[in-house]
Amino acid sequence: IYFPPAKINLGLKVLARRKDGFHNIESIFVPTQLCDILEVHKLDNAPEGELKFECSGLEVNGRIQDNTIVRAHQILSKQFSLPALEAKLHKIIPTGAGLGGGSSDGTFMLKAINDICSLGLSEDSLENYAEELGSDCPFFVKNRTSFVTGRGEILTPILNEQGAHRLEEMMILIIHPRVHINTSEAFAWLKEDERKKEQQGHHVPQHMNKHSDDLLDSPVEKWGGVFINDFEIPVTNRFDPVKNALGLLKNSGADYIQMTGSGSSVYGIFEKTGKTLKDTKMTEMAQKVAEKASKEGFFVYFGALA
């Protein structure tokens, strides 16, 4: 049994378009405690190489053959003789939400097959296979907070122990306003808005203005000036539910608020103070906002960040 997690972006800077049609990005990926549940085991009395796949929980749209779990199995079955397998996914992470749930599921399927079938693949090999699944899939192999470049496949783990410890002590409130954002369209909106800014004489920054190590040293309430998501303004200008979800977070007492990925999920991060009364009030404020968001029909997760 595996627990593929959702991830959030701390900042997301879109850089130049590549020759392969993708864009280079800069971001920090952080795994969260919001997880799907994936059960994988061998099947007796079934043809070799067969995959039986079942899904429960939240509805997953699209064709079954396009599911990342099925595609992960196809990738490895081309290279290895696999026994018959059964995979059961219980979907908890909303799909099309900017949380990387599908990427996480597929990558954890690669890891599960490697474990169960004793393929002996290294983490580097798994990352190469994961890259075939999607740009952000390699991140979920090691599943550690990382500075991310390229299409999302070039990972530099943030190893500072104090920083990792800080993340583990933080809380996060994730709100998904149940709006699906098409990533290709989000890139088009971003370019459209950038052209307007350039025509108006505004400078469009091309790189994150601080190195990822600043994550570990700066107070969380100052992250807003450090980690900026380029997609946030284009998306919120076009989708009122996303703007409304961010508005709810502004009343939650969060130290840092942002949209993740190309949307539509938004989140607030809360840094514990170690002072019981203050932390209790922080939790109460966050829970009230979570309840209000739920009443509006939004998906909500409130709990430990990492």
Which position among 7, 13, 91, 111 bears the catalytic label?
Answer: 7
Adjacent-strand bridge partners of 148: 27, 155
Nearest to 107 by CA among 4, 198, 238, 212: 4
Phi, psi of 284, rounded to the nearest 5 degrees = -65, -40
| Residue at token pair 């994961």 | 130
20 is catalytic: no
Contact 258, 143 (CB under 8 A): no
Query: Cα separation of 279 and 229, whole Å?
Result: 28
Residue 132 neighbours by CB distance under 10 Å: 14
Q: Sign of torsion, CA 47 48 49 52? A: positive
Which position among 13, 36, 111, 136 bears the catalytic label?
Answer: 136
Tokens of 150: 């390229």
Tokens of 215: 């994550």
Query: Cα separation of 300 and 174, whole Å?
Result: 6
136 is catalytic: yes
Q: What is the DSSP string of 69-123?
A: HHHHHHHHHTTS-PPPEEEEEEE-SPTTSSS-HHHHHHHHHHHHHHHHTT----H
Nearest to 14 by CA among 5, 23, 3: 23
Q: Among all residues, which ones are annotated catalytic?
A: 7, 136
